[in-house]
Amino acid sequence: MTLNPFYFGESERQLFGMYDPARGGGGRGAVVCHPWGQEYLRAHQSVRHLARLLARKRVHAMRFDYYGSGDSAGGDTDGSVRQWRDDVGTAIEELRDIAGLRSVGLIGVRLGAPLAVACAADRKDVDRLVLWDPVYDGSAYVHEITGNGSEHETVEARGFLLTAPVRSEMRAITLEDFRQALPRTLIVSTVEPDTYGGLEQTLLGAKVDVTTAHCPGPQVWEEEADFAAAGMPVAALEEIARWMSE
């Protein structure tokens, strides 16, 4: 399989991307929006595997790192939620350009989900949306990753730095952010079956064509703290690839 690592975007704020072309060509595409921080590291292998599965199912797949994360430019404290939303848009345009697509799907994992929702609501070129174990309660999420209520300017969050402005942006994420005119949506849950019941109701209330798939399996963002590896959530990956390729 051909490997296509590359940088894209503005030269001073370049983003790292990996492109997996659809096997045998295809008319669909998907941009994967990573989780943040330690969750990004732990989910990396699963997200990579998802991209391969999508390509095998004739879906052009692109993964990328947000500004200030992974291989992208910027230090750990340089990014912002607003910037990362813009990065999703930049990645959409890049994939459309590379693969010659009119529209693409978005797959948001954990914090990537609200970013994908915000982007999908603003654009006309997003045709599908997957929300994989989405973060929809920003306050709970910040508490989870920082472990305390410290209000210092910058706090440590499981090996990464979180500035006060970014914490504020994250805390501002609520279920209401998902009440948008969105394209056809799949919620994928690897946790308890009813975890995303409220989210599904919110989307239904906004007249979104939404389905929830419960795919029990490892929570890719939670396991093996010392080794940044988690088990592969095979059922979730296969369900996402199947749904995206339909």
At its nearest, how many Å lie between another protein and the CB of residue 43? 11
Count of chain residues binding another protein (CB under 8 A):
30
The Cα 90–Cα 92 span in angstroms is: 5
Nearer to another protein, 7 or 174 (CB): 7
Q: Considering only residues 215-234, where is the footprint of another protein by CB under 8 A?
A: 226-229
Spatial distance between the Cα atoms of 134 and 114, rounded to a whole number of angstroms? 7
Task: Return the number of the residue (18 or 129) whose C-beta is nearest another protein.
Answer: 18
Which DSSP category does 13 fall into?
A: G
How far, in Å, CA of 108 to CA of 114, rounded? 7
Rank residues 176 and 227 by Cβ distance to another protein and give the closer one. Answer: 227
Report the residue from 28, 34, 44, 60 that binds another protein according to the rule CB under 8 A. 44
Q: How far is the CB of 153 from another protein (least distance, A)?
A: 12
Q: Work out whether 109 is an interface residue with another protein (CB under 8 A).
A: no
Nearest approach in angstroms of CB 67 to another protein is 13
Contact call for residues 61 and 29 (beta carbons, < 8 A)? yes
Site for another protein in 46-105 (CB under 8 A): 48, 69-71, 73, 75-76
Touching another protein, residues 156-195 (CB under 8 A): 156, 158-161
CA distance 142 to 67: 19
In whole angstroms, how close is the CB of 162 to another protein at the nearest point?
Answer: 11
Concatenating the DSSP letter of every residue in 119-183 gives HHHH-SSEEEEEEES----HHHHHHHHH-S---SSEEEETTEEEEHHHHHHHHT--GGGG-S---
Site of interaction with another protein (CB under 8 A): 1-7, 14, 16, 18, 38, 41, 44-45, 48, 69-71, 73, 75-76, 156, 158-161, 226-229
